[in-house]
Chains A and B, each alone.
Chain A
């Protein structure tokens, strides 16, 4: 039984709780704030910047199989995705498809 339960205890203490703390803190901090308050405007910019950092890290120091794709291909792919998103009148779908296609084509042309 212990063997069945242990992975779930690890999940709760090592995965769930360290992650959930931020959401609970957000709930406690944000309980009484107004939509147009300056703190909210600032925090939205902070949230976007943290998201930008997550994007940059996933491209520059990627997890698992993505690390096997050369850095130049990853950068070219994210750049082309963004370019096509802009050219296609800010279509998220078009940007996503273009970026993915660029990554696959680049990965085939420049195998690691």
Chain B
């Protein structure tokens, strides 16, 4: 076999970006994001936000649950500091997500600025799909592929926002409920699908049990505590199993 032709890095990263963009169309999350943002679009319309504002919030925030909190809390007249705090607490997941995504993305010549865009584009959907799609790819293609994937997913979200914004008045309440249900349902099955190690499977199961208990007993910072308690317990079990 002849040696692979050396492509210009610009060309190959553009091709990888395009491959990621197209990959988003084949992802189950394309459907999930259209549906989720139809729900968020309807919510934004009902609460009197403009469509450009909603789309800007998707580009800047890119986190469905945080956007739902922001829109509904602002609309009900909560104090700005309280709203900011609620958004802040709901987005803790991005810290461990970004930290664990970086080693998957980094190549030998990667600089910190190259990672700024994928870090901003990190969301639950992109994180789950990256762990599924990136490992077979050569390292130098992973960052552009990942950016293409996330931007593709975001475009599906924008399409949903436009649909939801203009259909808001005619959407039955049960359909809006079903659209809001897409987030927990898709997070659950896709996280289960991706959790191959014992630690991750246990973390999912324990998290589902511990979080309702913390919420029931009204313990503050429940997301952080669930992460630390369930994640550490799951990690500890895996280590003990490995050591025995």
Q: Does A1 contact B (CB under 8 A)?
A: no
Docked complex Cα distance between A60 and B95 (Å): 24
On chain A, the number of residues with a Cβ less than 8 Å from chain B's Cβ atoms is 73
Docked complex Cα distance between A3 and B219 (Å): 39
| A-B pairs with beta carbons under 8 A, tally | 304
A18 and B181 contact, CB distance less than 8 A: no
With beta carbons under 8 angstroms apart, the residue of A27, A57, A82 that contacts B112 is A27
Docked complex Cα distance between A48 and B201 (Å): 8
Among the stretches B144-152, B156-164, B228-236, the one at the interface with A is B228-236
A7 and B230 contact, CB distance less than 8 A: no
Given contacts A56-B207, A90-B192, A103-B177, 12 further A-B contacts (CB under 8 A): A8-B56, A22-B91, A26-B99, A30-B103, A40-B99, A47-B93, A49-B234, A58-B65, A69-B177, A77-B185, A81-B185, A96-B32
Q: Which residues of B contact A (CB under 8 A)?
A: 28, 31-32, 39, 43, 49-50, 53, 56-57, 60-61, 63, 65-70, 72, 74, 80, 83-85, 87-88, 90-104, 112, 115-116, 119-120, 122, 124, 127, 173-178, 180-193, 195, 197, 199-200, 202-208, 210-212, 215, 222-224, 226-232, 234-235, 238
Report the 5 A-B pairs with minimum CB-CB distance, sorted nearest first. Answer: A52-B207, A26-B98, A46-B231, A30-B99, A47-B96
